[in-house]
């Protein structure tokens, strides 16, 4: 079975978490999606790039979630979410995925 790159998992967690929260009007459900995807990505990061890199990428994931809120006030919700998801995906690819095709 093909492995889903951690860049895709992390970006999907950010976009999917927001989408689920918005469409269901249940923030906790969106938070669960965000957390499950973040945990899955962190596990991949640890396996592919080690503990320090996993810690840094997990911090970036959490910072992206937090940073999307003030950014949304300036550019809108969806552009903010897509922007931070893209940034985390790029970092994830650069640190972990490009080494493990």
Q: How far apart are CA 91 and CA 45, in angstroms?
A: 11
Task: Record the pTM.
Answer: 0.93
Q: What stretch of H or E contains 101? A: none
Number of helices and strands in the chain (H, E): 4, 0
3-class SS of residue 77 = helix
pLDDT surpassing 70 at residue 1: no
Cβ–Cβ < 8 Å for 99, 49:
yes
Q: What is the pLDDT of residue 2?
A: 56
pLDDT band at 99 (very low <50, low <70, confident <90, very high): confident
pLDDT in tens, 36-91: 999 999 999 999 999 999 999 999 999 999 999 999 999 999 999 999 999 999 99
Per-residue confidence at 101, pLDDT binned at 50, 70, 90?
A: low
């Amino acid at each position: 079975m093909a492995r889903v790159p951690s860049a895709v998992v992390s970006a999907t967690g950010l976009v999917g978490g927001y989408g689920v929260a918005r469409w269901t009007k249940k923030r906790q459900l969106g938070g669960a999606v965000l957390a499950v995807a973040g945990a899955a990505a962190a596990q991949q990061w640890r396996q592919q790039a080690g503990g320090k890199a996993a810690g840094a990428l997990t911090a970036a994931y959490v910072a992206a979630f937090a940073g999307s809120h003030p950014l949304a006030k300036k550019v809108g919700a969806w552009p903010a979410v897509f922007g931070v998801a893209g940034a985390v995906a790029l970092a994830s690819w650069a640190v972990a995925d490009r080494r493990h095709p």
